[in-house]
Structure 1
Amino acid sequence: MNAVGHPTVIGTNRPLEEIRIDVAGPAALTGPALAHLRALGATAPEPPDTRTGPARFTATGPGAGRVTAHTAWADVLPDVDAADEATVQATTGMMHVHGRREGAPRGLAVDYAATCASVLTVQGLLAGLLGRARGGGTATHLATGADRAALLTLSQYLAAANAPEAEAVPPAPGGPPFTAACGTRFELEALEPAPWARFWRALGAAEAAIRAGWPAFQFRYATACAPLPEELHRTAHAASWARVREAAAASGAEVCALRPLAERAAEPRSAAPWTLTPHARSRPRGTSGPVAAGALPLSGLTVLEAGRRIQAPLAAHLLGLLGADVVRIEPPGGDPLRGMPPCASGISARWLALNRGKRAVEIDIKSPAGQAELRELAAGADVFLHNWAPGKAEHFQLGADRLAAVHPGLVYAYTSGWAGRLPDAPMGTDFMVQARTGVGEAARPADEPPAPSLMTLIDVLGGLVGAEAVLAGLLLRERTGRGVRVESSLLGAAETLTAPALHRAATGQDPRRPAGFRRPLPTADGWVAPADAPARPAPAGSARLRELTTQQAVAALRQQGRSATAVTTDLTALPEDPRLRGACSRDAHGSLVVPSPWRFA
């Protein structure tokens, strides 16, 4: 066994101890990765900020050899169309999806594509080191890009837009948050129609508006907008915040006031977005087997996934892209989201974006027989991954301790909402986490009212962080000879995304980006997005650009020394966009497939 570092580092819970990682490149592409690598135990000297160009990572250490990563703004797109965060968001359609609530493209004021690319870089480095630790001849160089990361985060929206069927609820402007009479802006969460209806009835809303609003509200996770009846917003605005909370408590719905970044900065935060805890019992070393020459680093490993919605399914999807055999545990009758419109060949295009290539086993975990069946499967697996509600696994005798008893070498991974770190936390869903952690403020510039993005920022980033944690757990298992309990969370994902804004708030700076930040400019036939840091101001103002076509506006800005690109506003046209150079493909069902987030060599 060619293990990384000392073969019996039993006391460690950090898999990158004794590993040195040298980094160079722009802070936006290196910062989140550096924080995670250091939290995993790596020695990573502070790099110079080159401001431009790609980021480069080189990992070396006892038994590790040399594993390298190259992270660029553009790896699929032309450099001129993906020069920084703003242009990546514009070209990939991220500005369009985030802007659906407003009815026009808007840039995210957080560095979302770069943050996701950083997490994918850490995943690739961990996977490469794991392949070496397993004694295989796997690739030791990987490349990724902020453009690849952005396309991955948008994969569900792209698949749905390019499916042969229409959305169940046509996208249109509108959506939460709501505003109470005192001005408190708040998010509402109801996973079923009954709590939704009871909440609005308690506030006195009209029945027609309650019925009409539910489908748009329910599908907001899928469409990134929620064209609710204006009656519901008026009803909320007529109620005091105290009455809103009373209505939520009585109905079974939940509400959360949007918290400012300054308040969040004053609260305790974790240094890492996950925890890794080796089991007390050991396993025989080397049972995962070596990796064949040329194989992906997780080849030969089995992942059991019992996930719902986005977070855990996406984490397992990424592990599958790295070579693992993913077995999806579904309830009797199969996952109901398989039929969520729009469909391709009878299967939800969104579901395929997260679950294609997985094997499925139907198990009733509520029955003793089903629980025994799942424990039997876990006995032969390497990873068990789930995102059930808190306490559900333990209730069904499927918690970490119970499964460790049948398989001491198991990596037990729980992708949670809050990781038990905020005792007053609301329901652990994407938009509630955004509201509670200040993402609603960080994601928008200072001249826009705080509002969580209706693009599922935290569910997706939570899935990426979850896969990162599993890879760290697998590498730690190779080093310690023990199975590992892993927990990641949506809270950890939110902290990763908002770290720069929280640092600004904690040091007395304005945590929000200035007015108009990353707001694309209208042209005669579309929109153009300048880069965040132009070489010098262009003399042509926005009024002049309105008279030009988008192509002419891009050319004019570039002639004046500004990086700029056209904003994608039609997701159905994106796969054929010459800037993507045919990077997207179709699966056996005819559903759109975005490119893998990594290239290995």
Structure 2
Amino acid sequence: MTPRLRAAVRPAVAAAIAGRLLRHAVPDLPEMSGPGRETLRYTVAWAGPVDADLPDERAVQAACGLMQVHGRATGGPLPLAVDYASVVAGVLAAQGATALRVARARGLGLREVRTSVAQGALLAVGQYLAAETARDNSGSPEPGAPHAPVAASDVPQAGGLATLETADDARVEVETLDPLAWREFWARLGVAPALAGRGWLPFQQRFATAVCPLPDELRQVARRRTLAELRAAAHHTGVSLLAVGSDPAPAVRPAPWCLTPGPAPFPDARAHPDTAVPSPRPAAPVSGAVLPLTGLRVVESTRRVQGPLAGHVLRMLGAEVVRIEPPGGDPMRWLPPLAGDCSARFSALNAGKPVVEADLTAGQGRDTVRALAAEADVFLHNWAPGKAAGLGLDASDLLPGHPALVYAWASGFGDAFGGRPPLGTDYLAQVHSGLAAAVRPTDQPPAPSLMTLTDVLGGLVCAQGVLAALAAREATGRGSRVDSSLVSAAALVPRPAHRPRWTALDRPLRTADGQLYLGPEARACPEAVLRLLDGAGPMATEDLTARFARRTTEEWTARLAEAGLTATPVLTDLTALAHDPAFRAAVAPPDPSTGHARPYAPWEFA
């Protein structure tokens, strides 16, 4: 039986997302009823452990670094035009509540979980925080060093997006992970290999830096070609290409995840001597605090962001997470900047996961995976479509012999493109889902945010699908296959029918020593702000914003507060999060074990 959940929430979008995911998670599980029934509580706040007044989504984006990372490519901090942090927080709340169901079914005495929109935002910028604090600790790379990371301060402040414009006014996003395919794509457009090569490194590193300072010569070449010509070049070289539309509505609205129950568990394992049916794992922790997934084991074969983040979430909830990596280790381990001897971005998602190396192209390596999966509660991968079946490691291969297993696949597009989807990466998912249009106002052309929005959200949705399957397993004894995708995660983000039109007050205002973002009341009532400008009468918004540059952020914050208006200083240096007393309970400073700052786990259980 499952205790009834009761929500006490304030942020409306986060509450709606949490409720939707919980209804989708395990709708058929029975609930306790009658005298003495237990209530599990989940709560979502705006600030949570962050000691700051954060009254809405935009204040959270300003204070926690989302504006800074999203705006890097276009010249400075800029809000996301969607309630992204609130959506992340809603998924976190659903995860906490579902984890409570699993914990209670396993005999753990947990009844309440709390999270916040600020904690969701900090989790979303965690990789960028790790990279910048590691760089801050180790110093800047030597000029000319191979594969040196491109710091945001070192790139041009115009043309920092990867989106290309064509001669017939189309906007396109291209994707490849192969430098040879990149070179051949540009060669078909008449570009010399040396020039194409100059563009490869910033293009490849845009996932890490959130900027893409392509040589302007490449952009000019694209502008002289039609959309059809670029599509032909992409088709012949294996490069993925999608046209960026201006409609913010999702192209498809898939369910967040699809849960397919596995075969019924065998009533008598002795009748099936060749079948692995592991005994239940003890819920009591060996040491430390009790967490909902304590005693469960996850095996993951993942790379980049989406899959590793799903495993990272399950580990923060208490599971033991074992990584399968190729012989010699995942190449992402050595991408700069390093924190000690490991990539800071890789460490942000994979620290604390023991590693087993296995060559999946060899039979012995695949046998290693099967043996690990046979002793696991969850097997998780984000392989390319068809790879699992080709390796003999699909759900249909593993579940019959291990009917209690939760088998999770985190894909890019699910079945949205049939058998030949584009590369399942973040920016193409933003394009296909309409998010590339939704994140920007009407005076900016549609383009994906170079902050990895769908990678983060996709990893969180995958983890929630796993939790839903674990909760169902506690009630039925059956494992499941869980399918989720970047596109299914992106579809969670609410957006208006048309892109918003912003005034200057909807953007950060430059002050004498920084930037400030006005609170909801001030943005809605410019006249109240005008009254603070030394008795100024009616004026253009541009004049109003120019006057803000005459005083410091602290002076304006105090003046606005005296008038009953809120404003939030805009974080423009992520390294400050590691030293700001307001974030002491939400962000762990660099320590010897990681070498970089990191957000603490985004839930508090009791």
TM-score strictly above 0.5: yes
Match of 2:321 among 310, 326, 332: 326
Compared CA separation, residues 362 and 40, structure 1 to 2 (3 A)? same
Alignment-mate amino acid for residue 127 of structure 1: A
Partner of 1:281 in structure 2? 264
Q: What CA distance in whole angstroms lies between the structure 2 residues aligned with 1:38 and 1:87?
A: 29
1:95 is aligned to 67
> Deviations for 1:453-482, whole angstroms, at most 9, x for unmatched residues?
000000011011111111001011111111
Give, as a single letter, the amino acid of the residue that structure 1 aligns with 2:41: T
Q: Is the 8 A contact 2:473 2:479 kept in 1?
A: yes
Q: Provide the C-alpha distance between the structure 2 equivalents of 1:39 and 1:421, rounded to a whole number of angstroms.
A: 20
Name the SS for the 2:352 alignment partner. coil
Whichever residue aligns with residue 585 of structure 1, its letter is: P
Q: CA deviation at 1:86?
A: 0.8
Aligned-partner Cα distance in 2 for 1:600–1:150: 19
Partner residue of 1:555 out of 555, 558, 561:
558
Q: Is 1:110 the counterpart of 2:105 in the alignment? A: no
- Aligned-pair CA distance for 1:69: 1.2
Output the CA distance in 1 between the equivalents of 2:330 and 2:228: 38
How many matched pairs?
Answer: 559
The separation in 1 between residues aligned to 2:470 and 2:382, in whole angstroms, is 18
AA aligned to 1:250 is H
SS in 1 for 2:40: strand
Match of 1:48 in 2: none
Deviation of residue 357 (structure 1)? 0.7
- Report the counterpart of residue 31 of structure 1 in structure 2: 16
Please, which of 177, 185, 195 is the counterpart of residue 181 of structure 2?
195
From 202, 207, 224, the counterpart of 1:238: 224
The answer for the alignment partner of 1:467 in structure 2 is 463
Share of identical aligned residues, percent? 44
Instruction: Indicate the SS of the match to 1:70.
Output: strand
The equivalent residue for 1:10 is: none
Q: Residue 519 of structure 1 corresponds to which residue in structure 2?
A: 507
Matches within 5 A, 1:394-405: 394-405=389-400
Deviation at 1:560, TM superposition (A): 2.8
Q: Is the 8 A contact 2:443 2:501 kept in 1?
A: no
Separation of aligned partners in 2, 1:441 and 1:189: 18
Instruction: Report the alpha carbon displacement of residue 286 of structure 1 after superposing the two structures with TM.
Output: 9.8
Q: More deviation in 164-173 or 186-195?
A: 164-173
How far, CA to CA, are the matches of 1:589 and 1:26 in structure 2? 33
- Does 400-409 or 166-175 show the bigger shift? 166-175
- 1:372 alignment partner, one of 327, 347, 367: 367
**C-alpha separation between the residues in 1 aligned to 2:361 and 2:431?**
33
Mapped to 1, the partners of 2:413 and 2:282 lie a distance apart of 36
Other-structure match for 1:543 = 546
Q: Shift of the alpha carbon at 1:579?
A: 2.5
Per the TM alignment, residue 87 of structure 1 is displaced from its structure 2 partner at its CA by 1.0
Query: Residue deviations 1:537-556, cap 9 Å, x none?
Result: 31142122111112222222
| 1:357 maps to 2:322 | no
The amino acid that maps onto 2:43 is H
Structure 1 counterpart of 2:260, which letter?
A: T
Closer/same/farther in 2, CA of residues 204 and 533 from structure 1, 3 Å limit? farther
Q: Deviations over 1:189-238 (max 9, x none)?
A: 01011111111111122443311111100000000001111111111111
Say if 2:89 and 2:120, in contact at 8 Å, map to a contact too: yes
Report the secondary structure of 1:573's partner residue.
helix
Name the SS for the 1:544 alignment partner: helix
Q: Mapping of 1:142-161 within 5 angstroms? A: 142-161=113-132
Gaps of 5+ in 1: 6-18, 44-58
Q: Output one character per residue of 1:489-511: Cα deviation in whole Å (capped at 9) or x when no partner.
A: 101111012xx22xx42xxxx34
Alignment-derived partner of residue 519 in structure 2: 531
Gaps of 5+ in 2: 141-147, 268-276, 534-543
Distance 1:79 1:348 in 2: 31
Q: Normalising by the residue count of structure 2, what TM-score does the alignment of the two structures yield?
A: 0.88
- 1:8 corresponds in structure 2 to none
What is the SS of the residue equivalent to 1:436?
helix
Q: CA offsets, 1:278-311, max 9 Å, x none?
A: 1123156994345228621101100001010000
After superposition, the Cα gap between the structure-2 partners of 1:371 and 1:211, relative to the gap in structure 1 and judged at 3 Å, is same
Aligned to 2:541: none
Distance apart, 1:533 and its partner CA: 4.3
Q: Check 1:463–1:338 CA distance in 2 against 1; reply closer, same or farther (3 A cut).
A: same
Distance of 1:357 and 1:135 partners within structure 2 = 26
For the structure 1 residues 287 and 189, does the alpha-carbon distance in structure 2 shift closer, same or farther, using more than 3 Å as the test? same
Q: Which deviations, in whole Å up to 9, do the C-alpha atoms of 1:533-591 show, x marking residues without a partner?
A: 44743114212211111222222232332221111111222211233136323341422
Contact 1:261 1:437 in 2 (8 A): no
SS of equivalent to 2:242: strand
Pick one of 38, 42, 46 that aligns with 1:73: 46
Contact kept? 2:39, 2:111, Cα under 8 Å: yes
Amino acid at match of 2:39: R
**Structure 1 residue matching 2:169: 3-state secondary structure:** coil
Q: Kindly report the root-mean-square deviation, in angstroms, between the aligned alpha carbons of the 2 structures.
A: 2.3
SS at match of 2:262: strand
